[in-house]
Amino acid sequence: MGSGASKKAESNPPPTTSTQRSRPSNSRRADFQEVQVRPSGQDPAHKATLSTSNMSARQESSRESGGSSHRNRYARHAADPSNGGNNSLQHGQSAAATSRAGRSKGRPDLQDDDVVFETFVHSNGREFVCAVRGGRRYYLDDWHSHEWQPFPERWYSEGRLVPMDDNSQTRSSGSNQQNGTSESTRHSEKDDREGYLKHPKRGRVETYLMEERHYVHFFFDRQTGKWLRLPIGWELHHSLVKQMVDHVEEALPHWGDRADILALLRACNYNPDECIGTYLLLDGDGWLKPQRTSKEARAEENKDERIEHLTRKLKQLQTDLETERKSRKEAEKQLSELEEKYSKISAEATSAQRQMEAMQQSRPKTAHSRPKTPVAVAVPEGPTQQDLELLNRKVKSLRKSHVHLKMDMLRNIGSVGAVIKDAIKAAADLKKSDVGSQQELEEIRSLYQKEALQRRLLYNQLQELRGNIRVFCRPRRDDRAQMCLKFPSDQDIMVSTGDGSKKMFNFDKVYNTEVSQEQIFTDTQPIITSCVDGYNVCLLAYGQTGSGKTFTMMGPDDNPGINIRAITELLKVCSERAETKSYNLKVSMVEIYNETVQDLLTSDARTLELQMVGNVVRIPNITEMGVSQVSDIKDLMKLGDSNRKVASTKMNSTSSRSHLVLMINVEGEDKVTGAISKGVLTLCDLAGSERISKTEATGQRLVEAAAINKSLSALGQVFSALRESQLHIPYRNSKLTQILRPCLGGDAKACLFVNISPDVKNYPETCNTLEFGSNARQVALGQAKQNIQKRPGGFPPR
């Protein structure tokens, strides 16, 4: 928001009062103006007038009453959707009402006089920082002029108000939900992530290159001692992945190709529902289906042919079988008929035989007893010889076919027996393999136990690979304060109050109040010095004013902090490697004050512009000073320090209201291979994170507070987005997050110091700081990458 914002405000002048008209247009009054913003329906006589003096008086009374422990970043309570959401803040009065609603709901300590910061997103895409105090809403015309203007009534219908903490959510729930970028960003900068493609059916399709964070599945290769990417074929055997693929396959049974499913699952960041959704959304799209190779097509065609051939063969066999069955039935019928006939004929033959025998017995034995003339004897008609022979032949053939049938039957019974035998054998095998599986299971169990042990050993290595932000907690030494801290272990810290409430936090390292500067540096030394090997490294100090951030980062002259020790150590490491590598150390120092980046290594504290090109942040014209010996460092720090704006606050007369960012570029060239490594060490002393009511901020201090609130909220939003692997990481929400982007973008190593006060009076702020640290600790940036190139010239400039 710069001159453009001012112009817009000028072209739509808000209602002004006589007080406003009378002041010079170029006035740099750093205060709220006396205003008359009359909410509709409010009695015109009931004009609230607010001036610097009465604001201060209100604050003083609020502070003295000891009730104002509200932290401005709790502004979200004021816009609780249940209270009507952002858009329900129709005017100053309702803002106060909402504020009160928020107080009664979530923060009983929220006072009417507390300042609530918001962002007004105008429908034209521009954004303004707003502040609500005492039921009145104001907007900041320009970070440089520090002029708070009364919020124009008509703007309520021209845009929306967003509590500062919820910026990212509102952005993504707005009209740009799909691409995750704000309109304002689009208006103000050309975004090279936007693009389009031409789809044969859908026509022009808008595209956006999301800065997505993805899970990547690795396995540990013992041979190389490295974590390698899991091939799809292996991953399909992983139980968790298998479950996901099963889940998708169950929902989309016709898909069939498990590798294809897994590929889309990977693309959907292992979210089966998203995978199913994507498939269903694009199903039927010719583009989605992979092209068949000619081999696959041939195989497919052959398969169809084969199936057809086999079907034909099967049909033929079925017909043959049917014919066979019929003929067998017929043969059986014939057989039974013949058998019947045979038994009849043989019965007849037997009776004819008997008759013949009887006739022969009754014939006279002598010649005279024999009649002289032949007598015609009536012989009963029986089967002839021919008949008998025919019959015999038939019987024989029947016996033959009977034997055939019997053999067929026996053969069939034999094959059924073989099938049964096979089944029994298979069942036995199954039983055996079941026993085998049990043994295998036992082996796997013991293997798992071994693996679990090994895994514990590999945990630290994994942390390194995942790139979790390492969070160190350092409480300030304060001998006069009543301690509210306990240190159960070197990774745990317990915060307790007099009323007995306790909170436990866990960090990578928790120091006690006695820890030395040297010890602090020793613990961060390996991370810091890795920038000599081409890593981007970032160290941040976060905490309320006076908690020891500057002490930790800069430190006093006789007991220096991380900044000076780090550069000294880098010089030492570089000189140790001088035989094989030549190094070049360049230092830049900037301050981010009121959303303006200022170069601290020029006497005029020049304002710098940031350029975001893809993932790269450029700061053209930034002063870079070479450092070759330890004495250079102190001169450089002094120069930067003298240029730094230090605003006094009541809590700490030297407390800084700006972020100090020290960047050390370490470029090394291998004398043998010519390979160039380029690492950047970013050391950042953040502005105090405390609520503004405690610092009694008015006027210019209020503008500073708004800027600090905006940037630290933006840092928290970046952490949250990274932690939740959101599609859009809102780096562009503040200058601080833009500058820190290379350190929080996925290939750097990051360390966060949460500096806290041990004083029981600071309990709420201490808890807020520790919560911020806990959230940051869950952020995984991904494996840090070395920036090494064979030839110079390929590195993106900062």
Ligand X SMILES: Nc1ncnc2c1ncn2[C@@H]1O[C@H](COP(=O)(O)OP(=O)(O)OP(=O)(O)O)[C@@H](O)[C@H]1O
Instruction: List residues near ligand X by CB under 6 A.
Output: 476-477, 543, 545-551, 652, 655-656, 688, 755
Least Å from the CB of residue 564 to ligand X? 14
524 is in an annotated binding site: no
Q: How many residues does the chain have?
A: 798
Least Å from the CB of residue 796 to ligand X? 32
Pick from 157, 133, 39, 159: nearest CA to 94: 39
Pick from 677, 764, 778, 685: nearest CA to 724: 778
Residues 6 or more apart whose Cβ sits within 8 Å of residue 24? none
Is residue 143 within 8 Å of 596, Cβ to Cβ?
Answer: yes
Is residue 468 within 8 Å of 723, Cβ to Cβ?
Answer: no
Least Å from the CB of residue 727 to ligand X? 34
Q: Which lies closer to ligand X via its Cβ, residue 94 or residue 552? A: 552
Least Å from the CB of residue 493 to ligand X? 15
Neighbours of 592 (CB within 10 A): 26
Residues 6 or more apart whose Cβ sits within 8 Å of residue 394? 338, 342
Q: Which lies closer to ligand X via its Cβ, residue 392 or residue 559? A: 559
Q: Which lies closer to ligand X via its Cβ, residue 628 or residue 648? A: 648
Is residue 215 within 8 Å of 226, Cβ to Cβ?
Answer: no
Q: Which lies closer to ligand X via its Cβ, residue 648 or residue 673? A: 648
544 is in an annotated binding site: yes
**Residue 114 and residue 99: Cα distance in Å, rounded?**
9
Least Å from the CB of residue 515 to ligand X? 7
The H or E element that residue 611 is part of is: strand 611-613
The H or E element that residue 77 is part of is: none
549 is in an annotated binding site: yes
Task: Give residue number: closest CB to ligand X.
Answer: 655
- Tokens found for residue 793: 């010239």
547 is in an annotated binding site: yes
Q: Which lies closer to ligand X via its Cβ, residue 32 or residue 472? A: 472
Please give the order of strands across the beta sheet that includes 485-489. 485-489, 492-496, 502-506
DSSP string, 149-191: EEPPGGGGGTEEEEEGGGHHHHHHHSTTTTTT--HHHHHHS--
Least Å from the CB of residue 708 to ligand X? 10
Q: Which lies closer to ligand X via its Cβ, residue 496 or residue 517? A: 517
**Residue 473 and residue 508: Cα distance in Å, rounded?**
8
Least Å from the CB of residue 687 to ligand X? 6
Q: What is the DSSP letter of 231?
A: P
Least Å from the CB of residue 541 to ligand X? 7
DSSP string, 496-554: E-TTS-EEEEE-SEE--TT--HHHHHHHHHHHHHGGGGT-EEEEEEEESTTSSHHHHHT
**Residue 95 and residue 88: Cα distance in Å, rounded?**
8
CA 446 to chain centre: 33
Pick from 547, 535, 461, 536: nearest CA to 763: 547
Q: Which lies closer to ligand X via its Cβ, residue 126 or residue 657? A: 657
Q: Which lies closer to ligand X via its Cβ, residue 677 or residue 762? A: 762
Least Å from the CB of residue 762 to ligand X? 11
Residues 6 or more apart whose Cβ sits within 8 Å of residue 498? 760
Q: Which lies closer to ligand X via its Cβ, residue 111 or residue 524? A: 524
Q: Which lies closer to ligand X via its Cβ, residue 71 or residue 77? A: 71
Convert 621-649 to b/e letters by CB count within 10 Å (16 or more is b). Answer: ebbbeebeeeebbeebbebbeebbeebeb
**Residue 66 and residue 98: Cα distance in Å, rounded?**
22
Least Å from the CB of residue 524 to ligand X? 15
Least Å from the CB of residue 704 to ligand X? 12
Beta bridge partners of 627: 585
Is residue 164 within 8 Å of 73, Cβ to Cβ?
Answer: yes
**Residue 299 and residue 296: Cα distance in Å, rounded?**
5
Q: Which lies closer to ligand X via its Cβ, residue 122 or residue 549? A: 549
**Residue 131 and residue 150: Cα distance in Å, rounded?**
10
581 is in an annotated binding site: no
- Tokens found for residue 505: 């936090």
**Residue 171 and residue 370: Cα distance in Å, rounded?**
141
Least Å from the CB of residue 68 to ligand X? 19
Q: Which lies closer to ligand X via its Cβ, residue 111 or residue 713? A: 713
Least Å from the CB of residue 694 to ligand X? 12
Query: For the chain, first and last CA: distance in Å?
Result: 23
Q: Which lies closer to ligand X via its Cβ, residue 27 or residue 519? A: 519
545 is in an annotated binding site: yes
Per the annotation, binding residues for ATP are 543-550
Per the annotation, binding residues are 543-550
